[in-house]
Amino acid sequence: MQTIFPTIIDVVFVLSTCLTMRFPYQQALALTLAALTLSAVEARAGNDNGDIGKTGHSVNDEIQVYNAEIAKVGQWTLQQHLNYAINGRKDPDFEGGLIPNHALNGTPELAYGVTEWWEIGFYAPFAVDQAGEFSSNAGKIRTLFATPNAAKREFFYGVNTELSYATARFSETRWNMEVRPIIGWRKNNIEFIINPIVDIGFGVNGDVTFAPAARLARNFGENLALGVEYYTGLGPIQNILPFTDQQHNIYAVTDFKIGRWEVNAGIGYGLTQASDRWMAKMIIGTDLNEGASEKSSSGPKLMRRSAAAMGGPRNAVSMSRPYYRSGSRNKHG
């Protein structure tokens, strides 16, 4: 657990430097990536169990592909993430962990626009297992740096980082981190986005795992989009698993708006034996206030930041990726 403290110091130092020196978003992104790279090295050094075949797997409370769209300056937004394993894996990812099959995972997400290129968020993950038992997964915070007005750009990018404290039923490591680069292209009504996610678990049971996700979608006006999202969990970066032991889930998704409510919904299918076979996901969100600057997108926010993540250190029930026997939060199904 000692490795978590250098990580927090690194990230806090970067954020305070960016604000006090008023760095542009490009420099903020570069400095954040540098600090998080150091954190990953420290986390890997702290894993002395010698089991390089393990891969982290966390409970999947958020299945979403980020597209660099953020809240207005001064604006609060609220989302509720839910995903359900219609036909999931029957065994827990580790002893004492949640069983994915017929489990409902979710989290409320409260986000705030700090600048035109910086958003912060807060989560309170939970799960209800197949026996109907409710479990809390403590909480997590995130910070997202992105190109301003990403929805109006043909090429956009950013990086999202999350720091979480997990409870025993959800993860074998108490402290976990996700680093999610965001790279996207948009032409006419077509968008393609990739999130090459890295999940980090701190401590003896932790590891650094790779869980890339992608989205290809077509927009039909401002309030409707149809697409395909792909989520994976490939295992430890230094020891990628064989294909049959990896998680690969493909989702048919739609984004639409009803009144003030924005909805993202999808049905996912697992392509490997290590994946949950059938998954369902839904995200419902709304803006809580207007904010001080022009919104980065005229469309619904869920369409602005669509899809899911996967990965995170050795967590249990992931509605997103199988357990390659370790802990990474693979937001996928």
Question: Which of these, 242, 246, 226, 234, lies nearest to 307 by C-alpha position?
Answer: 226
Question: Which of these, 228, 213, 192, lies nearest to 60 by C-alpha position?
Answer: 213
**Mean pLDDT, to the nearest integer, of 137-165?**
94
Q: 48 versus 125: which is more confidently predicted? A: 125
Is residue 326 in a domain? no
Is residue 94 in a domain? yes
Is residue 183 in a domain? yes
100 contacts 145 by C-beta, under 8 angstroms = no
Is residue 128 in a domain? yes
Is residue 299 in a domain? yes
Domain count, the chain: 1
Is residue 36 in a domain? yes
170 contacts 97 by C-beta, under 8 angstroms = yes
Domain ranges, residue 252: 4-304
Q: 5 versus 222: which is more confidently predicted? A: 222
Residues whose CB falls within 8 Å of the CB of residue 325, separated by 6 or more in sequence, listed in order: 53, 54, 55, 57, 93, 94
The helix or strand, by DSSP H or E, that contains position 44, with its residue range, turns out to be helix 25-46
Query: What's the whole-model pTM score?
Result: 0.78
Give the pLDDT score at 94: 87
Q: 187 versus 56: which is more confidently predicted? A: 187
Residue pLDDT, tens place only, 98-123 = 999 999 999 999 999 999 999 999 99
CATH at 131 = 2.40.160.40
**Which segments of the chain are extended strands (E)?**
76-87, 104-115, 118-123, 126-128, 134-136, 139-146, 155-165, 175-187, 190-201, 208-219, 224-233, 235-236, 247-258, 261-270, 278-287
323 contacts 98 by C-beta, under 8 angstroms = no
Residue pLDDT, tens place only, 67-78 = 999 999 999 999
Is residue 321 in a domain? no
Band (pLDDT 50/70/90 cuts) for residue 153 is: very high
Is residue 318 in a domain? no
The amino acid present at 54, given as its one-letter code, is: K
Band (pLDDT 50/70/90 cuts) for residue 298 is: very low
